[in-house]
A = this chain, B = another copy of it.
Amino acid sequence: MLQWLRQYRREQLPGDVSAGLVVAMMMIPQGMAYALVAGLPPVVGIYASIAPPLIYALFGSSMTQSVGPMAIVSLMTGAVIAPLAAAGSGLYTVLAAQLALISGLVLLVCGALRLGFLANFFSRPVMSGFTVGAALVIALDQIDTLFGGAWRSPHWPSAILGLASLAALVLARQYLAALLRRCGLRPLLADILSKLAPMLVVIIATVLMADSRYGATGIHMIGAVPAGLPRLNLATSAAHWGALLQPGLLIGFIIFLISMSAAQTLALKRNEKLVSNHELIGLGAANLASALSGGFPVTGSMSRSAVNFAAGANTPLASVITAVLLALALVAPTGWLAWLPLPTLAATIIVAVLGMLDLSTLTTAWRYDRADALAWLATGAGVLALGVQAGVVVGVAMSMGTLIWRASRPNIAVLGRIAGSEHYRDIARYPAATDPAMLLLRIDANLFFGNVETVSERIEDELRGHATARDLVLVLSAVNAIDTTALFALSELNQNLKRRAIGLHLAEVKGPVLDRLKHSELLATLNGRLFLSTAIACDYLQPTVA
């Protein structure tokens, strides 16, 4: 904890200051926009950008993670709370904080129980499909705000402002960095400044709306923003604890997944070490802080953390500076924020999530492993069709489904001896000779509950096809583990073969597997022997042939 502060070196300061400044400028429009995605007053997005990064700096393990509001987590928050409270009501805001509290507690408990391995429950294709599906949902949700009404019958002033903002942001995203570079800026600086386009567009639009000619056109604005820092606030409504518990679990899980995936990408670039259990604690504490300061669920954001990283962040001090700047912005006169037009904010949301519409994982998976590509598509479709909460469940189901499906089709090879050698190989791939009295099977998979039935059936099939076999040798050179379910199956196979007077032998059992088998009764009751190698097994069982 705070190791970075004790080891702080003076030369780290310039990078941290510039990153803190840049991220603060990015955070103001983004925080307000993501609060809107969650159905909350925009100022709540600023609140959620102050205490959480401060607390994460104390407990988190990533040096460059920027913790705060994030599009997908905001979408999930809105989906959970919208059915429970009227939009804009005080209850809505209280429930959002309560959801952050529950998610934070879930994350802390998981951290205390050292359940960091939970980050491994989503495959990358599933995470990618989930992200793309959620990004589409978020973008589609903003269409009405962008047009000031249904897109078929728009409120024209709103639509013109919204589309103009959108065009400006898209153009800035595509060309601003290149333009600034051509103006002589260093490439890195040009890239970073181009990330401030949303702030610039928001300021221009706000200034325009402050002009009464435009202000009177009926374009919706965010309205009065309460001045001052967030107050410690945790009015709870006991009736809703039950309703928020399960969504809080799901959101806690997604907070962890999103943050880990961002932090890992960045840690890899600097060969930094990330401790997933510390990350759970850091995120849990950050969400508690968000709940206590009137915020809503927060997480590390890939896009914002990448800017933080690129702008030179060396330590969490960058995030501390961001938080301080945002707090100052709230203490400063905030009256001007009232004129910020909603269509422009909608445009910043749409452009922000467009960056998440990345299909490269899908195309790679399509070429490399069709099952992973189908899992991507099913998860994306699940989010679009069933909503983002059910999408998490679909995602876990698809990750586990591809895993078990693949595991249920293990490679099992019948081995034969390569003539004139001591080598035994798959007879389907090599011209190898088999012995009618002996069946050699090599199982190329760990034996566990997911494949134990298929393996048992394949063994029976092969025994049926080798009716003269008196001995079955299982070659376990590729088996790294045998779980309890598989242990029972092997014991049943052993009993069964004993009744049929067929010997069951094990060859090339790996050290760790053998160590574990010694804690079971299988070896003591084995209707056959253990052999160090396949060749030794064959020589022993078929001395005349060998």
Instruction: State the A residues within 8 Å of B (CB).
Output: 117-126, 264, 268-269, 271, 273-274, 276, 361, 364-365, 367-369, 372-373, 396, 399-400, 402-408, 410-411, 429, 444-446, 448-454, 456-457, 460-461, 478, 480-481, 483-485, 487-488, 492, 496, 510-512, 516, 519-520
Contacts and interface: CB of A to CB of B under 8 A. Distances in A.
Nearest to A372: B484
A259 to B, nearest CB: 13
Q: Which of A269, A460, A485 has most B Cβ within 10 Å?
A: A485
B519 A368 contact: yes
A273 B406 CA distance: 22
Contact of A120 (B123, B451, B483): B451
Contacts of A404: 117-118, 120-121
Contact of A488 (B361, B457, B516): B361
A126 B485 CA distance: 10
Contacts of A271: 460, 496
A152 B111 CA distance: 44
A481 B369 CA distance: 11
Say how many copies of this protein the assembly contains: 2
Nearest to A500: B271
Given A403-B448, A484-B125, A119 B367 contact: no
Given A411-B512, A450-B403, A460-B271, A124 B485 contact: yes
A480 B483 contact: no
B273 A460 contact: yes
B429 A123 contact: no
B460 A511 contact: no
Given A264-B453, A481-B406, A368 B516 contact: yes
Contact of A117 (B121, B268, B408): B408
B520 A268 contact: no
A461 B118 CA distance: 21
Given A480-B444, A483-B123, A364 B488 contact: yes
A120 B403 contact: no
A372 B402 CA distance: 22
Nearest to A400: B400
B483 A520 contact: no
Nearest to A481: B406
A123 B484 contact: yes
A480 B123 contact: no
Given A361-B488, A411-B480, A120 B449 contact: yes
Contacts of A410: 480
A415 B126 CA distance: 34
A124 B449 contact: yes
B449 A485 contact: no
Given A361-B488, A520-B364, A372 B453 contact: no
A325 to B, nearest CB: 33
A123 B448 contact: yes
Contacts of A483: 123, 369, 372, 402, 406
A460 B269 CA distance: 12
A408 B123 CA distance: 13
7 contacts: A119-B453, A120-B452, A123-B449, A368-B516, A368-B519, A369-B516, A402-B483
Contact of A407 (B120, B268, B449): B120
A226 to B, nearest CB: 41
8 closest A-B pairs by beta carbon, nearest first, are A123-B449, A124-B485, A372-B484, A117-B408, A365-B484, A120-B450, A444-B480, A123-B485
A364 B117 contact: no
Contacts of A516: 368-369
A512 B478 CA distance: 14
A273 B456 CA distance: 11
A106 to B, nearest CB: 14
Contacts of A456: 268
Contacts of A452: 120
A27 B484 CA distance: 34
Nearest to A404: B120
A456 to B, nearest CB: 8
Given A120-B450, A122-B449, 20 more contacts: A120-B451, A121-B400, A121-B404, A124-B488, A126-B449, A264-B453, A268-B496, A271-B496, A361-B484, A368-B516, A368-B520, A372-B484, A373-B484, A399-B449, A402-B483, A406-B481, A429-B511, A444-B510, A445-B480, A446-B446
Contacts of A446: 445-446
A119 B516 CA distance: 26
A400 to B, nearest CB: 5
Q: Which of A274, A404, A511 has most B Cβ within 10 Å?
A: A404
A330 to B, nearest CB: 38
A434 to B, nearest CB: 20
